[in-house]
């Protein structure tokens, strides 16, 4: 699907920025909250997305990986609205698609870039052997 790491990084970045844009447009323009300042609500929805933005822009694999925890909040929001709110189902579906693409691209980028950098998790059997050796001394 992605022939190069730079393509994958571009898709991860574009999808993440698209989610930021979509959240802004949805909450400030298309469907602002009727009882609260729409800009206050919009800012509250955007703050979590801004936390990993610098690392995603610079292409840090660790940031791409942990940004997925934040993306799950937006995924659950979209999934919930898809189920309970007929009036915003299409908006929620767009959020779900963008979030899913961003999630997958972040995972793939973090994995490939991490391997390229020589980062990675040890196999459990190797960790167990090292711990056993350390405690048997």
C-alpha–C-alpha distance, residues 28 and 40, integer Å: 9
- Which segments of the chain does DSSP mark as H helices, in order? 5-25, 38-50, 53-58, 61-84, 89-117, 124-136
Residue with tokens 């972040």: 106
pLDDT of residue 43: 92
Q: What is the pLDDT of residues 43-94, one digit of tens each?
A: 999 999 999 999 999 999 999 999 999 999 999 999 999 999 888 899 999 9
What residue spans define the domains of the chain?
5-136
Q: Which two tokens stand for residue 137?
A: 């001394």
HSE-up of residue 135 (Cα within 13 Å, Cβ side): 6
Task: Judge contact between 131 and 137, C-beta under 8 A.
Answer: no
pLDDT of 133 strictly over 90: no
Task: Judge contact between 12 and 88, C-beta under 8 A.
Answer: no
pLDDT of 34 strictly over 90: no
């Amino acid at each position: 699907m992605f022939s190069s790491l730079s393509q994958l990084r571009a898709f991860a970045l574009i999808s993440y920025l698209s989610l930021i844009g979509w959240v802004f447009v949805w909450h400030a323009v298309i469907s602002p909250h009727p009882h609260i300042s729409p800009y206050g609500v919009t800012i509250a929805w955007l703050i979590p997305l801004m936390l990993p933005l610098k690392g995603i822009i610079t292409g840090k694999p660790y940031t791409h990986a942990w940004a997925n925890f934040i993306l799950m909040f937006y995924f659950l929001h979209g999934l919930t609205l898809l189920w309970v709110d007929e009036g915003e189902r299409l908006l929620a579906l767009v959020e779900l698609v963008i979030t899913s693409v961003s999630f997958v691209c972040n995972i793939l980028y973090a994995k490939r870039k991490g391997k390229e950098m020589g980062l990675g998790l040890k196999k459990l059997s190797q960790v167990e052997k090292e711990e056993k050796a350390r405690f048997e001394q």
